[in-house]
Amino acid sequence: MTTHDAKQMTTSFQPRRPRRNRQSAAIREMVQETRLHVSDFIFPVFVMEGAGQRTEVASMPGIFRYSPDLLLDEIGRCLDLGITTFDLFPNLPEAKKDKYATESQNTEGLYLQTIQRIKAKYPEACIMTDVAMDPYSSDGHDGLVDDGQILNDETLEILSKMAVAQAQAGADMLGPSDMMDGRVGYMRQALDNAGHKNVAIMSYTAKYASAFYGPFRDALDSAPKFGDKKTYQMNPANRREALIEAELDTAEGADILMVKPALAYLDIISLLRQNSQLPIAAYNVSGEYAMIKAAAQNGWLDGERAMMESLMAIKRAGADVILTYFAKEAAQLLANA
């Protein structure tokens, strides 16, 4: 037998050929394992004071801060695309920030009034809120600061009052992003005692002390005035610790567990998915968005393909819900697919 004959015999019989399932678009679509849908997305939005105002976040091309009137228009456009859930963040002037984040409980203030206006015009919209002190704090930290230390238990009372105020304004789901120990249980009890048993909690369960938050802090002008957040946000080197946080949040009454950031922590998303019966959310954060946008603007990669591949990776890792600044663009692409 010649070498040619042997080679032909070796290659002619291949009982398993995975490429057969890749031969056409129809077959690839039929056997696709993971699918994105617009209902997977939560769109983070930024509100600022004023009227008729819209300013682009310099480090997040295509993302804007809106005054409440224009934010209502933006939410209407998103609803038309099938996006139904929005995570609302406030951009406040420094004059309204103080040590105790008192503006967070001001029923006539920007944030709570905006929640009411959105729910009045779009009752079908699901409004998720942010529960943390940093947007309202003169110290820029997620907790109460005393002599350079972030106080855990003293912060819980402030967060609980903030949570109840948001629920009373009409919030459907609260997002405690502070990473204080025990805050989910403390908030759950406060909400239930105030008659808000049906308001859900999406806990920032595994929120890491990440370098990928920079553009978000630009959007809110909420960077810490001293130090960093490493005493309460998780160490990026730690994996097992996420299981401890998930166990605690579940026991304390969380309805959904979140991993933040998403792309650099796909293993953590998968870990929680394998170890929890609760829905798992992942926050595709501002820095992850900004990297793709910057590279696309420079012609270094195909922005749309990179966006969809990234979102698919987050879903494939096990996320049921994806908070992403790409929500509008992805919704438009999925609608036209």
Q: Which residues are annotated as a binding site for Mg(2+)?
A: 245
**Quick one: tokens of 238?**
């730690």
Active-site entry in 207, 229, 293, 328: 207
Active-site entry in 97, 161, 260, 315: 260
- In single-letter form, the type of residue at position 159 comes to L
Please confirm, yes or no, whether 260 is among the known catalytic residues: yes
Binding residues: 245
**Quick one: tokens of 70?**
């224009």
Contacts of 241 by beta carbon, 8 Å cutoff, 6+ apart: 206, 234, 235
Q: Using omega within 30 degrees of 0 as the cis cutoff, is the peptide bond preceding 261 cis? A: yes
CA angle at 287 for the pair 321 and 34, rounded to the nearest 5°: 30
CA angle at 224 for the pair 144 and 135, rounded to the nearest 5°: 70
Please confirm, yes or no, whether 293 is among the known catalytic residues: no
**Quick one: tokens of 217?**
């802090």
- What is the SS3 assignment for the chain? CCHHHHHHHHHHCCCCCHHHHHCCHHHHHHCCCCCCCHHHEEEEEEEECCCCCEEECCCCCCCEEECHHHHHHHHHHHHHCCCCEEEEEEECCHHHCECCCHHHHCCCCHHHHHHHHHHHHCCCCEEEEEECCCCCECCCCCCEEECCEEEHHHHHHHHHHHHHHHHHHCCCEEEECCCCCCHHHHHHHHHHHCCCCCCEEEEEEEEECCHHHHHHHHHHCCCCCCCCCCCCCECCCCCHHHHHHHHHHHHHCCCEEEEECCHHHHHHHHHHHHHCCCCEEEEECHHHHHHHHHHHHCCCCCHHHHHHHHHHHHHHHCCCEEEECCHHHHHHHHHHC
**Residues designated catalytic:** 207, 260
